[in-house]
Amino acid sequence: MKKNDSAISKDVAFGFLPAQKNDRVFGMWDLILIQVGIGVSCFCLLVGGYTGMMVNAKEAIATILFGNALPVLLIVPIVIYFTRYGVDTFIGFRSSLGYLGSSIFYFIFMILTIGYMSVALFMAGQAMVKIASVLSFPTFFTERVTGAPVFAILLFAFAFLVTYKGPLFIRKFNMIGVPAILLVMFGLIVTLFAGQGIDKIFALDPAEPYEEASRSFITALEINIGLGFSWLPYLGQYSRLAKSEKSAFKAGFLSYGIFVNVAAILGALAALVVASLDPTDWMFAIGGTWIGLIGLILLTLGNLTATIFLMYSQAISFKTVFPKKSWILALATTIPTVILLLNSAFYDAFNSFITIISYIMAVFGGIVISDFFFVKKQKVSIHDLYDTTGRYYYWHGINPSAVISFIIGTIAYWSLYNPIMDTTGELFQYITAGIPAYFTAGISYYLSAKYLFSYEVDRASLPSSSKEEGAV
């Protein structure tokens, strides 16, 4: 067996099987460092950029901190489930969604990941267009409409090759890419505050606000709520390896809910100064030609690293859900990303994408929290999580209560806000859309599981043997 194949097989087995006591190696600060390293990315910068285009600095900081922290606080308790039973996201969610339902959730996660990869790659493609312009490349490579897609697709091919080689090669590349994005952050902070001054930055007005200030504020808030809820599928990846439930909970909230906000706040301030939401515009405008050129190179490396991490995460999760499928087929599920790289349409609609993610993940977040804490009261059978004909089969592998709740949560969200048309209901400016969708889905799930589709697994405590199976 090839070395990379062995490493991939080891990662698949490690992700699929429940983590044992000797696997629980992460304390709170270990988890924070890992999750912040993953979470601080181009997506936070871009969310911050959209925020800074709509509201001033003080409002931007408020919407980012509250908008990201509150949804994370609402979904992060689920890490207790992953830590206690040592299971990954798509195994754990079988207890609330059903075996087939959890597989469907994986495909939603796959769409999310493809969207994130396309954003990272197109941003990197735009950075390379600007680098090509400084280096006097032919016009084809220095125009956004032609050069950015070509560079982005070439970077996708490189990421695909690196990911194909497996985790050992990826970890070596990450030693370059992760410091690169952190250097971008540090460089922007220094040049922003040294060159502009905090008083000047806080006196700036946003470049593209809505006519009503309240609409600008609440829309910026909703975009940040989307970023907060989007962490849901990733919460099980490392919390299952935590030494304690308490450390996993604190680390999840501090990393995804607080510390990653530094990147978003930085993006908002840069957008205010440059009057552009595109991070590739900030480099030259803030740092000048040569500092800007270095910044663009680092930004490209950081985005490429983010793509490789996302690509590997999607492929390894595919192998976890469908263990008999080949590694190349698992990687091939990322190829639709190329379609989104052919032009800038998807990248330019990132604000709509992140709010749609807010709706989907808010609804699922309400369902899984309601199921684990209020319906099943934290009692889950490890045996039935892995026996796909077991008690979590529900109706043809799907939990009807989850379906009903998803529909009701969808109605709640879209009646408040239509992210595609950017139209709102009367209550949107007071309560947003993502948070109400979360509570609507959670409450409707509880009522349905208890009184409408009341399965035995939702009505009775598990046998003592099942409780012991989940003991840590």
Mean pLDDT of the chain: 88
- Tell me the CATH class for 3-358: mainly alpha
Which residues, at least 6 apart from 443, have a Cβ–Cβ distance to it below 8 Å? Answer: 366, 370
Whether residue 471 has pLDDT greater than 70: no
CA-nearest of 102, 97, 108, 85 to 375 is 97
Q: How far apart are the C-alpha atoms of 403 and 180, rounded to whole Å?
A: 42
Tell me what pLDDT residue 13 has.
Answer: 57
In 55-98, which residue ranges form alpha helices assigned H by DSSP? 57-75, 79-85, 89-92, 94-97
What pLDDT, in 10s, does the model give residues 370-400? 999 999 999 999 999 998 899 999 999 999 9
**Two tokens, residue 114:** 């493809």
* pLDDT value at residue 5: 62
pLDDT in tens, 171-193: 676 677 667 777 877 888 888 88
What confidence score (pLDDT) does residue 25 get?
Answer: 79
pLDDT tens string 329-364: 999 999 999 999 999 999 999 999 999 988 999 999
Distance CA 232, CA 255 (A): 13
Per residue in 409-441, pLDDT (tens digit) is 999 999 999 999 999 998 999 999 999 999 999
Structural contact between residues 27 and 328, judged by C-beta atoms closer than 8 angstroms: no
Identify the pLDDT of residue 2: 60
* Domain map (residue ranges) of the chain: 3-358
Contact 445, 371 (CB under 8 A): yes
pLDDT digit string, tens, across residues 248-295: 999 999 999 998 898 899 999 999 999 998 888 888 888 788 888 888
pTM: 0.89
